[in-house]
A and B are shown apart, each in its own frame.
Chain A
Amino acid sequence: MSQGSGAREFLVETDFHKKARRAGGVTRNQAVGDAQAQLETLKEEFTDWTRDGLERLQSAIQLAETCPDNVLLIEDAFRNSCELRDIGTTVGYELVTFVANRLCEVLTAIRNGADYDKELIRCHLNALQLARQDTYKNVSPDQVPDLCDGLRRAAERSISLAGRIGK
């Protein structure tokens, strides 16, 4: 982390630094409360959005299945899965994040040389279909241990397989 010789250090006070500290700002409690209220309005759209997101993911998976050695296709499925993972918890669907994260791990393992296991992928897609239902809103992974342990074991199997191949 050395800055090296010949380094020049100077003060930068950007508009962000100047303006964000102006009077008339919003306290943390108020800001977080207002932001949560804003998010509530978008949660209504979450069901539609996850349906579309899952459709995109399924299409990407179907394409990847036709040519599992194609890294770009796996990458596309990975990106779609990341999107579901990155958003689920923000709108109260922690289980969506959990399952999508497991799928990301599986796809990473495939990218690293594990066999493409269709059943394993489908099992995650089915779990995602379940997790996006209203019933599972505000349900954390530790409230559904059977589902989570099953996915965890399955994902770990792929990852250990990739390790065994040594790629």
Chain B
Amino acid sequence: MKNATLNLRDLVILVADPSPYMCMLANSMLRGFGANKAMDARSSIDAIQILTEQKIDILLLDNLLPPHGGLKLTHAIRRNVNNPNRTVPILLMTSDTRESTIKYARDAGANMVVAKPMSPSSLYDRLSWIAFNPRNFVDAPTYFGPDRRFKIEGFPTGVGRRQGDKAIEVSEETGPTLAQDDIDSLFNSSRV
């Protein structure tokens, strides 16, 4: 996967973030990656409307998106059987990198989390990771979303892991925040 290239041309990307400047920064990065069809939403209400009306290829969603927040919106997208974008890949953007938040994001059905402030490399790596690591979906009474149990088959392009890394069991919150590397591992746990 290290030499894989990412082709975002003609993919419809929705950036949902309350900050116009943040949207502008994200769109600029996406343009740099070759994307040509990015659009914005400033609230979860706007985002739901767009997701109901048209096909979106990937959603970049801010964790604090008012009024409901990114986690609730993720959950709502996954649980709504009538939503044509129910299986849309969701990349949650958050500066709250506490372990509990990352766990909630995963359990709400997010495909991956990227820590804010984002850099071009951190965003590119997470998009690549989603593109090159397709996962089965699970439809269960208490969960609908990407399978949370899968084996480690490599990490975002260019990002290495420490030798001897093992699956992480999510526990009660003990530390203040997680580094992006540790966030990644929470999405790469189990079924080894």
Contact = CB atoms under 8 A, between A and B. Distances in A.
B140 A90 contact: no
Interface string A25-51: 111100111111111011001000100
Contacts of B149: 1, 3
Q: How large is the interface on B (under 10, 10 to 19, 20 to 34, 35 or more residues)?
A: 35 or more
A19 B117 contact: no
Q: How large is the interface on A (under 10, 10 to 19, 20 to 34, 35 or more residues)?
A: 35 or more
B140 A7 contact: yes
A21 B132 contact: yes
A6 interface: yes
Given A25-B7, A34-B33, A20 B19 contact: no
Given A1-B148, A21-B132, A25-B6, A35 B139 contact: no
A31 B33 contact: yes
B138 A3 contact: yes
Interface in B122-147: 123-125, 127-128, 130-132, 134, 136-143, 147
Interface of A: 1, 3-4, 6-17, 19-28, 31-39, 41-42, 45, 49, 53, 79, 82-83, 85-91, 97, 101
B22 A87 contact: yes
19 contacts: A1-B170, A3-B149, A4-B142, A7-B143, A14-B89, A16-B58, A17-B134, A21-B131, A24-B5, A28-B5, A31-B33, A32-B124, A34-B33, A35-B33, A36-B120, A42-B24, A85-B116, A85-B117, A86-B22
